Amino acid sequence: MKCHELEILISDYLDNVLPEETKEEFESHISECLSCKKELEETVVLLEKVSLLPVDVAPANDLWQNIESRINNKNENGHDDKIIPLKTNGTPVKVNHGKYQDRSSARNRYLKYGAITLIAAMLLIALLPSLLTEKNGVKMDIFKTSWPVINIKGVTTIGSKLLIGNDSLKIGDWLETKDSSQVKLDVPGLGTILVEPNSKVSIVRSDTGEYRIALDYGTINADITAKPRTFFVDTKSATAIDYGCAYTLTVDSNGDGILFVKEGMVALESNGRQSLVPAGRYCMSKIGIGPGTPYRKNTSDEFKKALMKYDFGNGGSESINTMLKYATKPDAVTLVNILPRVDEQLRHKVYARVYAFVPPPGNYRQDSVPYLDMEKLNKWIEKVQENINAEVEKNLKEMEKNLNENFNFQFEHGKDFKSEEFNEKLQENIEKHMEGLEKLQELYDIPMEQIEKEMEKMEKQMENFKFDYNYNFDNEKMQREMEKAQRKMEKSQRKLEEQMRKHEQDIEQEQRELELEQERRERELEQQQRELELEQERRERELEIHQREIERQLREQERQQELEERQREREQELEKQNKEREERLKERIERDNRDDIDDEN
């Protein structure tokens, strides 16, 4: 080992990271070379001095107050424009106090799953070092670059590959379901997406931590539990942004879409238009125009047509008049949404119509349209929803009461089921149910088929009840039936558990494979890193050698110059001495000459 090689190794030696062999070489060199030993000792003395420096120093002023005020900025309106670290694209999000922001359904859902999400997130953080890797400074999250996909039925392709059983969908690959195929796509840590037949989806790359898919055409059923604005679905006509919800989104071959929100809330955004669609509402989006106004499931065809014409055609006042004509109380939500967009001449009409259903909160008159900002409109919509919910509850209670009456009546009349009085009462009760159900259907958007099914079921139950009652409640039979049902339930429970176990095993297997893959990549990276480091060191050493060579040459040159200088000096001196000697000789000759002349004289 040479001195210049050792100099570079001092830091690694003191950090105790030198390989054993190099360390021995290092120490043997140090014990022999005085200058290197001196350098090492000086470095140690320096490090001893540095080790006395404080690692923590308290600032003279309290910095927190300033920081807190910077992260809790107040805006001009006095609202908190609080910067919250929620958005994952790296830029702060300002909390918008606009419509639907505080909608209880979305909030409840978020709260309901909040604890689970938190625990899952904490577990994820513990796992992260093994799941994340870093390449060229870019963080790669393997969870987001490929999502698990499970084939439920039929033929599905990923790119040109056939999907068999469990696989994973990578960024950029298109997943296509055929006529009768169905696939489940797991959004890691957020939920699932059911891709229905004849659909085409892919995962879109997002470097900002968002989860984003593109739906080219077809239908997806998404069930997502995430922070608002984490999960996005891009379609040609609009982007659906999740606020913690379950929804169905269908896109046709042109790119026009229709969204139905089952639970929570979804925002549809495009071309600067935004619609916030709450649970139980539909919303269309048209290519080139963007999203329309949300409407309820069972609104009348006339209302729906007029709304479509208003949103996407050139319906104008005619459409508004039709909508007002056919609007019922649950349509008030749609009308409130339209209010800010409608022409001023028609605004008072729309306002008065909604006012008649449910007046806005606060002291407003029906005959003059007040200015209502988004927050107030939002509150109004909430009031309408609450009003409808209250009516639904009232109707449900009435139905319950009717059922109880019916039950008591049957008991009162004992076995006399064939009496006219009983039949009349029964008929009356069924009619009451029907009334209640119709009312409910209108208010709560329950489809007619479901009601019919419910009624059939109820009638069947009544028949059975009559039958059983006629036979004095065959207790043993009932017991047997119950046991049978119990066994059936247990069996299906076991089957479900078995399926769950299998699914978990599959996931574990996949996880293990991912981890192995991860480890392999890390090893490769480390190897590359080591090679790079060695290369770097080699280059540094070469550079050092080169530099030393140059220094040596310079020294040599200096020495040469010095020698030449000295040579010159010596020559000059010799010349001087010669001159002196010549002069002395001359003098002597002259003196001798003079002496000779004197002698002659």
Partner 1 sequence: MLAEPIKNNYNPELVLENSIKEAELVQKASNGDCQTFKELFEKYVNRIYAFCMRISSNPQVAEELTQDVFVKAWEKLDTFRGDSQFSTWLHSIAVNEFLMYKRTQKRFLQRVVQTDNINQYDISTERHEYHFNTNIDIENAISTLPEQAKIVFILHDVHGYQHKEIAEIADIEIGTSKAHLHRARKLLREELSK
Query: Which one, 61 or 314, has the nearer CB to partner 1?
Result: 61
Q: By CB under 8 A, name the one of 4, 7, 263, 308 that touches partner 1.
A: 7
Q: Contact between 269 and partner 1 (CB under 8 A)? A: no
Task: State in Å, rounded, how far the first CA of the chain is from the last one.
Answer: 88
3-state helix vs strand vs coil in the chain, percent to 5: 55, 20, 25
Q: Are the beta carbons of 93 and 228 closer than 8 angstroms?
A: no
In whole angstroms, the minimum distance from the beta carbon of 205 to partner 1 comes to 16
Query: Which one, 138 or 164, has the nearer CB to partner 1?
Result: 138
Residues near 180 by Cβ (< 8 Å), separated by ≥ 6?
153, 154, 197
Q: By CB under 8 A, name the one of 19, 20, 21, 70 that touches partner 1.
A: 70
Q: What is the DSSP string of 394-416?
A: HHHHHHHHHHHHHHHHHHHTTT-
In whole angstroms, the minimum distance from the beta carbon of 514 to partner 1 comes to 16
Q: Which of residues 10-39 bind partner 1 (CB under 8 A)?
A: 10-16, 27, 30-31
Q: Contact between 597 and partner 1 (CB under 8 A)? A: no
* Strand 231-234 versus strand 239-242 pairing type: antiparallel
In whole angstroms, the minimum distance from the beta carbon of 130 to partner 1 comes to 9
The Cα 168–Cα 145 span in angstroms is 10
374-412 and 420-444 are packed helices; what angle lies between their axes, rounded to 10 degrees?
A: 170
In whole angstroms, the minimum distance from the beta carbon of 75 to partner 1 comes to 17
The Cα 223–Cα 461 span in angstroms is 34
What is the three-class DSSP state of 265? Answer: strand
Q: Contact between 115 and partner 1 (CB under 8 A)? A: no
In whole angstroms, the minimum distance from the beta carbon of 226 to partner 1 comes to 12
| Amino acid occupying residue 479 | Q
In whole angstroms, the minimum distance from the beta carbon of 426 to partner 1 comes to 56
Q: Contact between 91 and partner 1 (CB under 8 A)? A: yes
| Interaction mask 116-155, partner 1, x per CB under 8 A | --x--xx--xx-xx--x-x--x-x-x--------------
Q: Which of 245, 187, 232, 235 is nearest to 215 (CA)?
A: 235
Q: By CB under 8 A, name the one of 20, 21, 34, 57 that touches partner 1.
A: 57
Compute CA 370 distance to the chain's CA centroid, rounded to the nearest angstrom: 40
Query: Which one, 42 or 483, has the nearer CB to partner 1?
Result: 42
Give the total of residues touching partner 1 (CB under 8 A).
68
Q: By CB under 8 A, name the one of 19, 76, 77, 85 that touches partner 1.
A: 85
Tokens (6 digits) for 438: 């119709």
Query: What is each CA distance from 308 to 231, 259, 316, 339, 354, in whole angstroms?
Result: 27, 14, 11, 16, 19
In whole angstroms, the minimum distance from the beta carbon of 131 to partner 1 comes to 9
Q: Contact between 79 and partner 1 (CB under 8 A)? A: no
Write down the residue that tokens 């890193």 correspond to.
529
In whole angstroms, the minimum distance from the beta carbon of 395 to partner 1 comes to 39
Q: Which of residues 500-539 bind partner 1 (CB under 8 A)?
A: 529, 532-533, 536-537
Tokens (6 digits) for 342: 């409608």
What is the three-class DSSP state of 6? Answer: helix
| Positions in the binding site for partner 1 (CB under 8 A) | 7-8, 10-16, 27, 30-31, 40-44, 46-47, 49-50, 52-61, 63-64, 66-68, 70-72, 82-88, 90-92, 118, 121-122, 125-126, 128-129, 132, 134, 137, 139, 141, 209, 529, 532-533, 536-537, 540
